[in-house]
Structure 1
Amino acid sequence: MWVMTGCQDLIDPAIENIQGREDMLERPRLAQGLLINAYLRIPTNGWSFSEMATDDAVSNNPTNQFLNMATGQWASNNNPVNQWTGAQSAIQYLNVMIEDVDSVDFAVDPIVNQMFVDRLKGESYGLRALFMYYLLQAHGGMADGQLLGVPILEQSQNVESDFNIPRNTFEECMNQLYADAERAMDLLPYDLANITDPSLIPSKYASQGAETGQYNRVFGDDAIQLVSGRIVNAVMAQAALLAASPAFNPNGDTEKWRAAAEHAADILNTIGGVSGLAPNGVTWFANTSELNAIGGGVNPAEVLWRTSIGSSNNLEADNYPPTLFGNGLINPTQNFVDAFPMANGFPIDESSSAYDPQNPYAGRDPRLNHFVVVNGSTAGPNNTVITTAIDGTTNDALNRVETSTRTGYYLRKLLRQDVNLNPNSTNQQVHMKPRIRYTEIFLIYAEAANEAYGPMGTGTAGFSAYDVIRAIRQRAGIGAENGDAYLESIKGDQAAMRELIRNERRIELSFEGFRFWDLRRWDASLTETARGMTIEEGDHEVMPVENRVYADHMIYGPVPYSETLKFTELKQNTGW
């Protein structure tokens, strides 16, 4: 693999064992190593659980970085969600790749070689767009009354480069992202997969006499899970939603919402629109037969893009309750539990909900049981009863030991219940880490379409925000007995539909790294106290657990303090 240890080594590599750009031109595997370095820096390669810095969860580990962040220690020199270094490093690798890939010989066959050049260049542009999205999400913000992004770097940097350059505007960065995405989509097929029909070979290759075997060698099954046109389209939808959101669209430009809706619709219409919603998508992490059968780069219907699969028990070791030999790390809050409606579809604070505060888990949205371990739930391979009540007799009880829950709840989502952590019979199971799920794309469409066209408007997609939310709630098992009367009652109310869409997003994408960023782009309250449930002698009482300490300016993240010290042209976001 090509390793970049410093700007000087990039141009004049040290003699020992560092490969430089001239070596790369002669050795294709070194060139591909540039892309590998970028892929390895994708933030969603692993779980971060920034939810513990929001109203959705707390940590039972007092040294947890997100606990510290949420309770007043977030600073420009102490930023657990910093993307600056990793993303900028990735972009440097990608820029070198873009500049040099045309000069690398990947195959003796000239047609195959051109296909490799196009694919690798397309991947590079697509990844550069992806990293721009993460940079804008984490570091875009207001500085001196102007909405700024990050410095745009289209060329690789070297020892002679001027590093002291200002941040481009947020709008300029979005334009750059879109331009890179369009370049990628021009070079890549929409999906990477083997073909048997020669008519599917793009004309630019067919005109040179390309055959299916040549095409499949480059763009076929072996390339699945690399960046494709579909993935780039999804990145455009994600970025467009960010740009349309209140924190980054203070004037409420409807065209930005329309753009986000259209990018999402472009993807959803390739799977049949609303009818393409995966029936088992709610429990994608627990569909054991499906997970165990995954291989060869194939995705379940719910998953648009994922990392490699593998067997492990790390999530369970971190988050199982103590009686299941886990550390109970992530504790969902009462705030999060309250977000689940009743099975009849009504929010629990609506008079028609029939919610009983002293029997709070009865008759609820079925997703609550899929995602959260509540008092009296069963969990683990032996269906162990988990008692979180303060007068419970096990270490699962509220605040009993350091690995006990602080809120009265344990995490179930993402965990496989057939993992056994008993030291006498420990096992591992297959896990999958999605980078993008189709449910996210459906929710992007619903949010953007509601703002652009209203709850019932369809734009050019042929379906509405209402249609999407109805399908998502039906899949979850909501409103089966009453036709989802609550949804029907608000389908003409844009503001009410906005709140419902946000709530559905909160539930469906929970603990997948969205809530922290969603609250900020919505310019919503960050300071809602995290609450829990104390249960004693059957009496249920809501209690405060952890204050959230955020200032108003923290809807935007900081530029790293060390960078502003080094470069005088780099403006810090206001308040940091």
Structure 2
Amino acid sequence: MKTIKYITGCVALCVILMTSCKKDFLSTPPTDKIGNASILSDTSLFEAYVINRYIGVKLQDKEDDNTGFGRGFQWALWSSLTDESIYNNDDNTWVVQQGQLAPNNLGDAGTIWARSYRGIRECNYALSVINSLPLSAAHKNNLIGELEFIRAFRYQDLIRNYGGVVLIGNKVTELSDNLQDPSLFNRATITESINYASAQLDDAASKLPLDNSSVWALGRATKGAALALKSRLLLYAASPLYNAGTWQAAAAAAKAVIDLGKYSLFQGGYGQLFLTPSSNEIIFERLFYPVTAAHLPIELDNGPNSYGGYGGNVPLQNMVDAYHMSNGKAITDPTSGYNSQNPYVNRDPRFYATILYNGAPYRNNVIQVFLPGGKDSNQGSNPQNASKTGYYLRKFANDNYSITNSNEAGAQPWIYFRYAEILLNYAEAQNEAVGPDASVYQAINTIRQRASVNMPPLAGLSQNDMRAAIRNERQIELAFEEHRFYDVRRWKIADQTENVPAYGVAVSVNVASPSGYNYAQKIALTGRAFLSQHYWLPIPLSEIQTSNGQLKQNPGYTN
């Protein structure tokens, strides 16, 4: 039987695997190879093929078997390549944290190039045959928009990690393709790459439905998802690292999502947002079936050691210190009321929904990272899983789910786009374009003053002060959601944020202290470093070699 081929990087290698990703809308045949003839003769199989393009197969250790667009719920989160957290037991993340990236060693970031071009090739195949299928014109139009969105998402992942990329267009690559074909290896400029993906999203937005429905199920791309991705792309394009667009265009792209009038901020509690599928704040998400979610549950991966958790992605003191006091003042402000020996009192409410700290209430108990004898320290049970930083991750975890029984957990959505990001995109772009006008304050204060947060509104700031405030707000509001890695790079401040040691906290019992403990800074991971070439990832050496050296490496890396 002839099988559909796909590519790793720009070279075709093997057959497409059709596997369920446990999405709410996904129901596919139990086969793992589907021939061309079957797909072309059965519209339900073709639709299943399109739906499965939201996921990809496992390409390296410690990845989910059905990897989505992002790293959600897969061992090390992308936050553990930043100043947000470290992955307690490494799992190929420390090579990035310690500045050892190389074309032959990308650590946890090693599969982006391969997975993205595989996905692009798969979308191109579907687009090349869709007009031969007996589908209604309207539904065919929707599917074309969906494929264009998925393809643009893959290009976005390439662009934000590598800069200018190879634009394949609609070409369906085959094993027999001539390696001298320049379309396989010539990298476009960043501007050309972003313009191409943006144009695809414009077309996708014109074809996709505004709402999910019984036909267009939850979890599939909509018009809002396409416009949200365009907003992110154009925000990146205008940023200093890219220098490939304008802030005015970025503001307009975010405004287009706002003007849909469809989305609003979730008012049921900041922490609850990440446990609630399909709220009005969510623009695009990955959904999982309850109970039977086939991936490592976040409760098990990140839970404290005394509860049976692996203590995986542990927040850094660097991140903890970014949370302001509830009066809106930074902890470095001597008038803020911050007490370094009672450090977790009166902080931004989002802190308590995101970080587990010494004394934090948790599962009818409290977190104990103190020494001597704290049950969640390295003197507690399962000491190999005790946090190296003195903190554990609360965000995304559902305390009603079991930690030790992975068949009873893991059904939370993974949110790719939500309305708060769009408001922050708009605030940043508009502030850079014209300064802090009323619409900038409206966007950012709407986030700060929603129910359960209620932080003081910003007022009377200069453009520079507003820039700093927006950057801090992104860091807090979008913590651990795969933004920080790209934000500090596009702002070109990673040489500052990523060259700071990975700090944690050492907690010791002291009955004379107001809190009952002494708190002291410690280094949780040694050797943290960032070099100028790390603003972009290196293209994997295997891809350079496969192209016979035609594919050009990013500056600063030696093949």
Bucket of the pairwise TM-score, normalised by the shorter protein: 0.7 to 0.9
Letter in 2 for 1:257: W
Given that 2:314 and 2:393 are in contact with CA atoms closer than 8 Å, whether structure 1 keeps it comes out as yes
Say whether 1:73 aligns with 2:109: no
Q: Secondary structure at the residue paired with 1:189?
A: coil
Provide the alpha-carbon RMSD of the alignment.
2.8
Within 5 Å, give how 1:62-461 maps onto structure 2: 63-79=90-106, 80-81=108-109, 82-106=111-135, 113-140=136-163, 148-158=164-174, 159-161=176-178, 162=181, 164-193=184-213, 220-249=214-243, 256-271=246-261, 276-280=264-268, 282-285=270-273, 291=276, 299-312=278-291, 314-380=297-363, 383-396=364-377, 401-421=383-403, 427-428=408-409, 430-456=411-437
CA gap of 1:226–1:2, structure 2 versus 1, over 3 A, is: farther
Given that 1:340 and 1:365 are in contact with CA atoms closer than 8 Å, whether structure 2 keeps it comes out as yes
Query: Which residue in the other structure is 1:564 paired with?
Result: 544
Post-superposition offset of 1:368: 1.2
Q: Secondary structure at the residue paired with 2:114?
A: helix
Q: Secondary structure at the residue paired with 1:528?
A: coil
Given that 1:247 and 1:523 are in contact with CA atoms closer than 8 Å, whether structure 2 keeps it comes out as yes
Say whether 1:59 aligns with 2:87: yes
After superposition, the C-alpha distances for 1:447-483 in whole angstroms (9 at most, x for unaligned) are: 11111121125xxxxxx22222212222275666xx5
Post-superposition offset of 1:190: 2.6
Query: Which residue in the other structure is 1:216 paired with?
Result: none
Task: Work out the CA distance in 2 between the residues paired with 1:244 and 1:403.
Answer: 42
Post-superposition offset of 1:19: 5.0
CA gap of 1:34–1:496, structure 2 versus 1, over 3 A, is: same
**Count of aligned pairs:** 501
Letter in 2 for 1:130: F
Letter in 2 for 1:501: I
Structure 1: state its 5+ residue gaps: 11-16, 107-112, 141-147, 194-219, 458-463
Say whether 1:508 aligns with 2:477: yes
Which has the larger helix fraction?
A: 1
Task: Work out the CA distance in 2 between the residues paired with 1:498 and 1:439.
Answer: 17
- Report percent identity of matched pairs: 30
The structure number with the bigger radius of gyration is: 1
Letter in 2 for 1:98: L
Given that 1:45 and 1:307 are in contact with CA atoms closer than 8 Å, whether structure 2 keeps it comes out as no
Letter in 1 for 2:207: L
Query: Which residue in the other structure is 2:521 paired with?
Result: 542
Post-superposition offset of 1:128: 1.5
Post-superposition offset of 1:428: 3.4
Q: Secondary structure at the residue paired with 1:100?
A: helix
Q: Secondary structure at the residue paired with 2:86?
A: strand
Task: Work out the CA distance in 1 between the residues paired with 2:104 and 2:248.
Answer: 37
Structure 2: state its 5+ residue gaps: 16-31, 57-67, 511-516
After superposition, the C-alpha distances for 1:389-413 in whole angstroms (9 at most, x for unaligned) are: 1223424358982111111111111
What is the TM-score when the length of structure 2 is the normalising length? 0.83
Query: Which residue in the other structure is 2:5 paired with?
Result: 4
What is the TM-score when the length of structure 1 is the normalising length? 0.80
CA gap of 1:358–1:438, structure 2 versus 1, over 3 A, is: same
Query: Which residue in the other structure is 1:518 paired with?
Result: 487
Q: Secondary structure at the residue paired with 1:305?
A: strand
CA gap of 1:355–1:97, structure 2 versus 1, over 3 A, is: same
Task: Work out the CA distance in 2 between the residues paired with 1:181 and 1:357.
Answer: 48
Post-superposition offset of 1:316: 0.9
CA gap of 1:373–1:75, structure 2 versus 1, over 3 A, is: same
Post-superposition offset of 1:492: 3.0
Task: Work out the CA distance in 1 between the residues paired with 2:374 and 2:48.
Answer: 54
CA gap of 1:244–1:284, structure 2 versus 1, over 3 A, is: farther
